[in-house]
Structure 1
Amino acid sequence: MTVRLTLLCAAAPVERDVRFADVPLDDRALRETRAIAGTLPTADTRYSAPSQRCTQTAKALGWDAVTLEPALRDVDMGSWRDLSLGEVAASDGAGLAAWMSDPDAAPHRGESVTEVCHRVSAWLDALPEDAGRLLAVVEQAVARAALVGVLGAPPQSFWRVDVPPLSTVQFTGRGNRWNLRMGTVSTAPVGGDG
């Protein structure tokens, strides 16, 4: 049986400065999430990363039953947790540059990009072949890591993947072999009669 997995990147509040923190969703993010609830594929099992951002996204989607999955958690930012990108750049510019260019670097004493990629790939490969259709609300880093792993790309490509809030990526797989599944554009006319 083929496993069909859709990863949904969690909603994000409007922030002026990127922060390495789990911040709650604002009203705008919750409205945007509710607006897409009916557009997601059906699922036999729904997962959420344990962060506030992901669990609030799942709740706004109207999910009653969701499995919290620790393997889908965000990057452990170690000593940079709760700091803004600007604060890290000012206090540890060399460390930030190393972290964003060397996937094995962990100057914050948290997780490296390579470690995150391995963690997410291990979770994907551990899914049972009869899991069916799965839907998971995840962090940006997890969606990036999944793409890197499925494509067999080097960890350096992690930073080359843009994952906007509320975007999805789909995978199909069986027996530890995963494929990226691209979406289709609707052929329905836009604006009425076409």
Structure 2
Amino acid sequence: MTSRVTLISPATSPSLRQARFDDGTTSLDGNGAARARAAAGTLPPAAHVVVSPSARCRETATALGLAAAEPLAELAGLRAGRWEGLTIEEVGGAEPEAVARWLTDPAAAPHGGESVQDLCLRVGRWLDTASQTDGRTLAVVEPDVVRAVLVRVLGAPAASFWRADVPPLTATEISGRAGRWNLRLGNPLQPADD
């Protein structure tokens, strides 16, 4: 049995443009929604469609024509605790040592939320379940979730989490069987005439 998972990052939102810790309620901006609608129909057919529970992921899924996507709590982005709603600049100005520790120590959670290490473990458990699913799964997920999948698939240390950039509205594909995954990165979702 071969499992295939296509991870789609959400379209742009104000939080993304402002480097703000998203609290899950921020909607797509007009340009992001338009780009997602233009990319509808470019995705392969899937047996399963899931989505991070954030507004921007749910709205991206709907704009892509994946309105029946099932929200999964285990695919939520990194929980940033008391930093949610703030920009990285605001937090860095107020708590520079805490931000430095958070960016360099995957076990650190100075914001009172979730550590990168915990996120990677949570997403890894979901990936173990997905590996038992025959056919393709489409998952519209936060960039943090894509990074956590990369860490798991590559067997990389959690400290490498921040070294992967995940552009908006791109697809990262993995496929595998018997617990071994292959990776295909960063495919843009574009209308057929691009």
Hey, what does 2:40 align to over in structure 1? Answer: 37
**One-letter code aligned to 2:149:** A
- Which structure's CA Rg is the greater one? 1
| 2:58 corresponds to 1:24 | no
- CA drift at 1:127: 2.2
Give the TM-score of the pair, scaled to structure 2. 0.89
Q: 1:66 & 1:99 partners in 2: Cα distance?
A: 32
Give the TM-score of the pair, scaled to structure 1. 0.89
Q: Percent identity?
A: 47
| 2:101 corresponds to 1:67 | no
Note if contact 2:171-2:185 (Cα within 8 Å) is conserved in structure 1: no
Question: Greater shift after overlay, 143-152 or 14-23?
Answer: 14-23
| 2:96 corresponds to 1:109 | no
Q: 1:50 & 1:78 partners in 2: Cα distance?
A: 16
- CA drift at 1:183: 8.1
SS at 1:181 equivalent: strand
Q: 1:175 & 1:70 partners in 2: Cα distance?
A: 25
Note if contact 1:77-1:109 (Cα within 8 Å) is conserved in structure 2: yes
- CA drift at 1:126: 1.6
**One-letter code aligned to 2:170:** S
Hey, what does 2:162 align to over in structure 1? Answer: 159
**One-letter code aligned to 2:150:** L
- CA drift at 1:89: 0.7
- CA drift at 1:177: 2.4
Note if contact 1:17-1:86 (Cα within 8 Å) is conserved in structure 2: no
| 2:89 corresponds to 1:51 | no
Hey, what does 2:12 align to over in structure 1? Answer: 12
| 2:73 corresponds to 1:79 | no
- CA drift at 1:79: 1.0
Q: 2:182 & 2:124 partners in 1: Cα distance?
A: 13
Hey, what does 2:2 align to over in structure 1? Answer: 2
Q: 1:182 & 1:67 partners in 2: Cα distance?
A: 24
**One-letter code aligned to 2:19:** V
Q: 1:85 & 1:130 partners in 2: Cα distance?
A: 37
Q: 2:186 & 2:91 partners in 1: Cα distance?
A: 37
Indicate how the Cα distance of structure 1 residues 52 and 41 shifts in structure 2: closer, same or farther if over 3 A, else same: same
Q: 1:180 & 1:113 partners in 2: Cα distance?
A: 21
**One-letter code aligned to 1:19:** R
Partner deviation per Cα, 1:88-123 (whole Å, 9 max, x = no partner): 011111100100011111100111111111111110
Alignment of structure 1 residues 86-97 onto 2, 5 Å: 86-97=89-100
